[in-house]
Structure 1
Amino acid sequence: MVNAVLKNSLFVILLFVGSTLWAQKKSDQLQAEQNKLEKKLSTTKSLLDKVKKGTESSLNELKLIENQVKNRELLVRNFDNQIRSAELTISSKGEQIKELESRLIRLKEQYKKLLIYAYKHRNKSAKMMFVFSSSNYFEAVKRTSYLKRLSEIQQKQFKVILQNEKTIHKEISTIKKEKEHKKVLLDEKIVEKKEIEKDKTNKQLALEKLRKDENSLLSDLKEQERQKSELKRRIKLAIEKEIADAEAKARKEAEKKAALASKTTTTSTTPSKTTTTTAPSKEVVFTDTKENIALGKSFESNRGKLPWPVAKGSITENYGKNAHPTLPNVFTNNNGVDIGAPKNAQVRVVFDGEVTSVLNIPGAGKVIIVKHGTYRTVYSNLQEVYVSVGEKVSSKQSIGSLLADEEGNLSTSHFEIHQVVEGNVQRINPSLWLAQ
């Protein structure tokens, strides 16, 4: 009976330790999410401070404020989750402490009985008399084993009592920490809610200023859409030309091999005649090199983990259809993502590859296309370019610097991803590939 209680007590302690570890893991995940959001907020705030140095409100300012509001709301939600988690931990720990204290009382009661028994049979002669008074040898062996087992149980009982007391103190300490953590989160939540209201007020002011010049906005929008169409056309032509050049090169190499093979003949010599047999021509099949296939697979395996094309930035326009921030029922279509970044920020390649094109497009600045197996990454709106066609580049290597926006306080990095599938060029949503 005593042994069963000991085993049960040890199981309960292990169960409590397991639940504590699970709660800690959940808490760590929420903390990591909080750190990411706070980093995003810090970057956006830094960019906003630079924008506000200008005299006029801009679409960039409006988009950054929207990002700020969204990230603050996510942070408040994260605080709510952490507070809820802390409350559950406090409640759970309270129940666990009650259970442990109850078990501790029972263990001490049993231990008390064992001590009383041990005290009554404390001298060696009493133990010897208990053994020697056995009716036969087998009973004497059993009594000796019983005394030995009793001593072991005593020691185990004492250890379990200490473990229970230690666990209780640890759980009480955890509750205190969770309560302190909860208080800090509540205070931070209040601060963030106030900041959200400030950001919303700033957003409204910027919106009102921009709406005063709606005609200018529409004119700018038409010009931007024209530039986007031209960028799209030039990128498509550049990738198609690169594919055609690669195929032409492969064809030439195949023709060379065929010409060499045709010189190798099977000749049968007779007194009157020499017969020459030429190998039949075969259709040339173009395949990518093993190196490029491996690079493409490696690129694929990094989906969702690629570094951003700028070290610091905030996405100001997502891939695909986007509602205009000020003009009602007006939408823009983005073939990649736009990232607001510090003025003239360095642009870096997101993965190992080879530069296949360097273009100069009016309105889009200079453009770099990098090949990663069957994938292509595109970096536009560049002022300077540090690489040339055919150059091998490595992940996070600086390949150029950005043009300054019209307001002159920020720069915008336009980034696209394409895939070549059976000779066709397909656009891909970069947001799914960049690390979040």
Structure 2
Amino acid sequence: MKCVSKLVLIAGFLSSTVVFGQAVSEKLKTEQSRLEKKINNTKSLLDKSKKNTETSLNELRLIDNQIKFREELVNNFDNQVRGAEMKVIEKGSEIKNLQEKLASLKEQYKAMLIYAYKHRNKFGRLMFIFASNSYNEAIKRGNYLERVADIQQKQFLIIRQHQGLIKKEISSIEQEKQYKMQILMEKKKEKEAIEKDKQKQEMVYKKFKQEETKLLAQLREDEKKKEVLKQKINSAIQKEIAAAEAKRVKDEAAAKKKASASTTTTSGSGTKPAGGTTTTTPTTENKEVAFTETKESAALSKSFEGNKGKLPWPVDKGSITEGFGKNAHPTLDNVFTNNNGIDISAPKNAQVRAVFEGEVTSVLNIPGAGKVVIIKHGNYRTVYSNLQDTYVKAGTKVTTKQAIGSLLVKDGSATSVAHFEIHQVVGTAVQCLNPSLWVTH
């Protein structure tokens, strides 16, 4: 019986170890799948860029992204190989324990069979029972013989179970070894791809280093366009805030006028209060109207906030080629650019979609930034610029992932770039937020 209990404990321990190991392995495989998807997206964009004879800074950023993603994938492969090696060691230890246990069980079973053989007698069982001093003792002896037979049968089943477990663990080790070899081959391919990407990166880098004067002029022009875009977006949001405030004041005045008229009518038809003065009861109608609007806005804001880190991308496929805030120029030393949002390289003329339900408040046309769409989500605003065509207008209600326009294409470019921003309105102040923290990864 002790052997049976030990087997149950060993099986429980092995089961928990396997479950933990599987969870880590699945997490690494999920991460591998995510990185491979990013690499494929970036590779697709780079393949399209190759058709263009004019190399762009955007292509250099895509190459940088490709190298980064491949290096992350190689690290992922390293972790999976280490995990496979640990599994092989664990399985080897488990097999050794099972084999030792199996040898012990066989010895015990052998001893029982030898004893049974030496004391074989067709009358032996009956004589053992009939030799009892009382009826109760005879019952106990009968139960004892049944338990011995039951133990022998269990011992036999445990031995078979151990043999099955050993066979299974050996098969598992072989699978882990094959998986490890496969991962090592994929790692080798990725390292070769990284070297090719780095060689191309160096070639593009040298080309741009020879055109620093042209790049600086282009950079200054781009920064001017960014500043114009920033001012236009802020102006549109402030205009929207002012219009909402004017509407609130107008509604409040109308509500007060209506309440005053109602009070005057009541006073003229009824009994005046003591002292001959007319008492005007403060109305809560205006507060109720304002509260209803604020409540809806707050609910949408809360829903938007609740999806932080889970919002879909504004394009179906793409790669972030310039992040939020301060960014180092890819070729010019000690030169930085500032970004109020993120720039996402996407396929040519890609569809742009709303990242969350809301209402379009502005559709602008800005030279150098194409068309711009601003969508309201309670106290939040999402901004989509660099659009060639728009499918919405001010006042349009949109749903999550609804197409709102298509991207602009620069002359000679094989890809498009979506500029995406998120703003939060607090009172009359507008704060830029980092979109990378809001969209899913």
Question: Scaled by the length of structure 2, what TM-score is found?
Answer: 0.92
Task: String of CA shifts for 1:357-403, please: whole Å, max 9, x gaps.
Answer: 11111111111111112211110000000011111111111100000
- Look up the match of 2:258: 260
| Counterpart-to-counterpart distance in 2, 1:133 and 1:226 | 110
- 1:395 and 2:397 correspond: no
Question: Which residues in structure 2 correspond to 1:24-35 (within 5 Å)?
Answer: 24-35=22-33
What letter matches 1:194 in structure 2?
E
- 1:293 and 2:298 correspond: yes
What letter matches 2:161 in structure 1?
Q
1:30 deviates by 0.9
Identity percentage of aligned residues: 56
| Counterpart-to-counterpart distance in 1, 2:121 and 2:412 | 96
Task: String of CA shifts for 1:20-39, please: whole Å, max 9, x gaps.
Answer: 22212211111111111111
What letter matches 1:307 in structure 2?
P
Question: Any unmatched runs of 5+ in structure 1?
Answer: none
- 2:373 aligned to 365, 368, 379, which one? 368
Task: String of CA shifts for 1:123-146, please: whole Å, max 9, x gaps.
Answer: 774323222212234433332332
- 2:213 aligned to 212, 215, 220, which one? 215
- Look up the match of 1:158: 156
Q: Which moved more, 1:48-57 or 1:323-332?
A: 48-57
- 1:269 and 2:271 correspond: yes
- 1:338 aligned to 339, 343, 352, which one? 343
CA 1:154–1:292: 2 relative to 1, 3 Å: farther
- 2:326 aligned to 321, 329, 334, which one? 321
| Counterpart-to-counterpart distance in 1, 2:313 and 2:104 | 60
CA 1:137–1:254: 2 relative to 1, 3 Å: farther
Q: Which moved more, 1:276-285 or 1:52-61?
A: 276-285
Q: Is the 8 A contact 1:337 1:430 kept in 2?
A: yes
Question: Which residues in structure 2 correspond to 1:170-249 (within 5 Å)?
Answer: 170-249=168-247
- 1:307 aligned to 312, 327, 330, which one? 312
What letter matches 2:391 in structure 1?
Y
| Counterpart-to-counterpart distance in 2, 1:112 and 1:291 | 80
- 1:133 aligned to 131, 134, 149, which one? 131
- Look up the match of 1:422: 427
Q: Is the 8 A contact 1:10 1:160 kept in 2?
A: no
CA 1:154–1:208: 2 relative to 1, 3 Å: same
| Counterpart-to-counterpart distance in 2, 1:390 and 1:418 | 19
CA 1:254–1:347: 2 relative to 1, 3 Å: same
Task: String of CA shifts for 1:38-58, please: whole Å, max 9, x gaps.
Answer: 111111111111111112221
CA 1:429–1:140: 2 relative to 1, 3 Å: same
Question: Any unmatched runs of 5+ in structure 2?
Answer: none
What letter matches 1:388 in structure 2?
K
What letter matches 1:132 in structure 2?
F
CA 1:15–1:332: 2 relative to 1, 3 Å: same
Say how many residue pairs are matched: 432
- Look up the match of 2:34: 36
| Counterpart-to-counterpart distance in 1, 2:425 and 2:96 | 64
Task: String of CA shifts for 1:81-112, please: whole Å, max 9, x gaps.
Answer: 11111111111110111011111111222223
What letter matches 1:278 in structure 2?
T
Q: Is the 8 A contact 1:313 1:339 kept in 2?
A: yes
1:274 deviates by 7.8
CA 1:238–1:118: 2 relative to 1, 3 Å: farther
Q: Is the 8 A contact 2:421 2:435 kept in 1?
A: yes
Q: Is the 8 A contact 1:405 1:412 kept in 2?
A: no
Q: Calculate the aligned-residue CA RMSD, in Å.
A: 2.1
What letter matches 1:179 in structure 2?
K
CA 1:294–1:280: 2 relative to 1, 3 Å: closer
SS at match of 1:305: coil
| Counterpart-to-counterpart distance in 2, 1:247 and 1:165 | 80
Q: Is the 8 A contact 1:251 1:284 kept in 2?
A: no
| Counterpart-to-counterpart distance in 1, 2:396 and 2:77 | 47
- 1:23 aligned to 21, 24, 40, which one? 21
Question: Scaled by the length of structure 1, what TM-score is found?
Answer: 0.93
